[in-house]
């Protein structure tokens, strides 16, 4: 079953591009999390999406959120991708797509890993899910809009 709005976001621990291990539970009670699953480092669509998150990263931080990207690429691949495009946020390596499957952010068109963004509040509850393979900017815009709505409550 895919994770949906109102669900508690499943916890996980994955290696980051800096060789640390990041767990979702580390953010509970501290920050909202914008968790985005993307297919592959350094491909045109994934680069456009990641750079859009990069360009709005300070806005996300000011809104009290941490941005985390997840793909099946290795930590080394993430390290190169982050350095090449000056990505300041965390990229996690989900070898075998276990976390992707846990969230239900599986295959687009039955062929490629999907492109899905989750906005998770400080309590660990999913507040928004955006699933679009081609609307790269929409992932960023919708996540920001959701965070602004949460702040207004």
Distance CA 115, CA 130 (A): 9
For 36-81, the pLDDT digits (tens) are 999 999 999 999 999 999 999 999 999 999 999 999 999 999 999 9
Q: Which of 108, 120, 113 lies closest to 93 in space, CA to CA?
A: 113
Predicted confidence at residue 109, as pLDDT, reads: 62
Positions marked catalytic: 46
- Per-residue pLDDT tens over the stretch 71-120: 999 999 999 999 999 999 999 999 999 999 999 987 666 667 889 999 99
CB 101 within 8 A of CB 93: no
Sorted by sequence, the CB contacts under 8 Å of residue 110 that are 6+ apart come out as: none
pTM flag (> 0.85): yes
Task: State how far the Cα of 133 lies from the Cα of 110, in Å rounded to an integer.
Answer: 12
Pairwise CA distance, residues 15 & 83, whole Å: 17
- Please, which pLDDT band fits residue 22 given cuts at 50, 70 and 90? very high
Distance CA 127, CA 93 (A): 24
Q: Domains in the chain, please, with CATH?
A: 13-152 (3.40.30.10)
Can you tell me the distance from the alpha carbon of 129 to that of 120, in angstroms, rounded to the nearest whole number?
9
């Amino acid at each position: 079953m895919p994770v949906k709005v109102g669900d508690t976001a499943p916890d996980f621990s994955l290696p980051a591009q800096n060789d640390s291990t990041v767990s979702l539970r580390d953010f509970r009670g501290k920050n909202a999390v914008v968790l985005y699953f993307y297919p592959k480092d350094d491909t045109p669509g994934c680069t456009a999406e990641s750079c859009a998150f990069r360009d709005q990263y300070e806005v996300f931080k000011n809104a009290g959120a941490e941005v985390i990207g997840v793909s099946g690429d290795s930590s080394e691949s993430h390290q190169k991708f982050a350095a090449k495009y000056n990505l300041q946020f965390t990229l996690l390596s989900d070898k075998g797509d276990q976390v992707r499957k846990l969230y239900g952010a599986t295959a687009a068109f039955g062929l490629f890993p999907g492109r899905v963004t989750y906005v998770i509040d400080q309590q660990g509850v999913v507040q928004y899910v955006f699933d679009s393979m081609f609307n790269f900017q929409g992932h960023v815009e919708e996540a920001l809009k959701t965070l602004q709505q949460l702040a207004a409550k």
